[in-house]
Amino acid sequence: ESLNGEGKYLFPGFIDAHTHLREPGQEAKEDIASGAAAAVKGGFTSIIAMANTEPPVDSRGLVEFVRTQGARAGLARVYPLGTVTKGMRGRELVEMLDLKEGGAVGFSDDGHNLQNSEVMRLALEYAKLTGLPIVSHSEDENLACGGAMHRGKAAARLGLKGIPSSAESIMVARDLMLAAETGGKIHLAHISCRESVRLIREAKERGLDVSAEVNPHHLLFTDRDVDLFNTSLKVNPPLRSEEDQEALLTGLLDGTLDMLATDHAPHVWEEKARPFAEAPFGIIGLETALAAVWQRLVVPGKLSPKRLAEVWSLAPARRFGLPGGTLRPGSPADLVLFDPEWRERITSDSLASKAQNTPFLGQELQGFPTLVWVGGEPVLRGRQLCPAGDGVRHR
Ligand code: DOR
Ligand code: ZN
Ligand code: ZN
DSSP string, 218-261: HHH--GGGGGG--GGG--SSPP--HHHHHHHHHHHHHTSS-EE-
Strand, helix or coil at 97? helix
- What are the backbone angles phi and psi of residue 224, rounded to the nearest 5°? -65, -20
Those residues whose beta carbon sits under 5 angstroms from the ion ligand 3 are 263
Percentage with pLDDT > 70 across the chain: 97
Q: What is the pLDDT of residue 395?
A: 38
Ligand 1 pocket, residue 266 CB under 6 Å: no
Ligand 1 pocket, residue 233 CB under 6 Å: no
Ligand 1 pocket, residue 52 CB under 6 Å: yes
Question: Which is the closest atom of ligand 1 to the Cα of 189?
Answer: 6
Residue 57 confidence (pLDDT) above 80: yes
Residue 130 confidence (pLDDT) above 70: yes
Q: pLDDT digit string (tens) for 134-171?
A: 999 999 999 999 999 999 999 999 999 999 999 999 99
Among all bound ligands, the one having the nearest atom to the CA of 18 is: 3
Cβ distance 16 to 48 under 8 Å? yes
Name the pLDDT band for 390 (thresholds 50, 70, 90): low
Residue 394 confidence (pLDDT) above 50: no
Q: pLDDT digit string (tens) for 280-294?
A: 999 999 999 999 999
Residue 362 confidence (pLDDT) above 70: yes
Residue 279 confidence (pLDDT) above 50: yes
Residue 85 confidence (pLDDT) above 80: yes
Residue 354 is given by DSSP the state S
Name the pLDDT band for 388 (thresholds 50, 70, 90): confident
Residue 110 is given by DSSP the state S
Q: pLDDT digit string (tens) for 86-113?
A: 998 989 999 999 999 999 999 999 889 9
Instruction: Read off the pLDDT of each residue in 328-334 and give the average, rounded to a whole number.
Output: 78
Residue 174 confidence (pLDDT) above 60: yes
How does the average pLDDT of the chain come out, rounded?
95
Give this prediction's pTM: 0.96
Q: Would you tell me how many other CB atoms lie within 10 Å of the CB of residue 347? A: 13
Name the pLDDT band for 333 (thresholds 50, 70, 90): confident
Instruction: Read off the pLDDT of each residue in 106-127 and give the average, rounded to a whole number.
Output: 95
Q: pLDDT digit string (tens) for 300-329?
A: 999 999 999 999 999 999 999 997 555 667
Instruction: Read off the pLDDT of each residue in 54-66 and give the average, rounded to a whole number.
Output: 98
Ligand 1 pocket, residue 261 CB under 6 Å: no
What are the catalytic residues?
263
Q: What is the pLDDT of residue 4?
A: 84
Distance between CA 136 and CA 211 in Å, rounded? 10
Report the separation in Å between the CA atom of 189 and the middle of ligand 2, taken as the mean of its atom positions.
Answer: 7
Cβ distance 50 to 108 under 8 Å? yes
Report the separation in Å between the CA atom of 53 and the middle of ligand 3, taken as the mean of its atom positions.
Answer: 11
Ligand 1 pocket, residue 282 CB under 6 Å: yes
Q: What is the pLDDT of residue 332?
A: 76
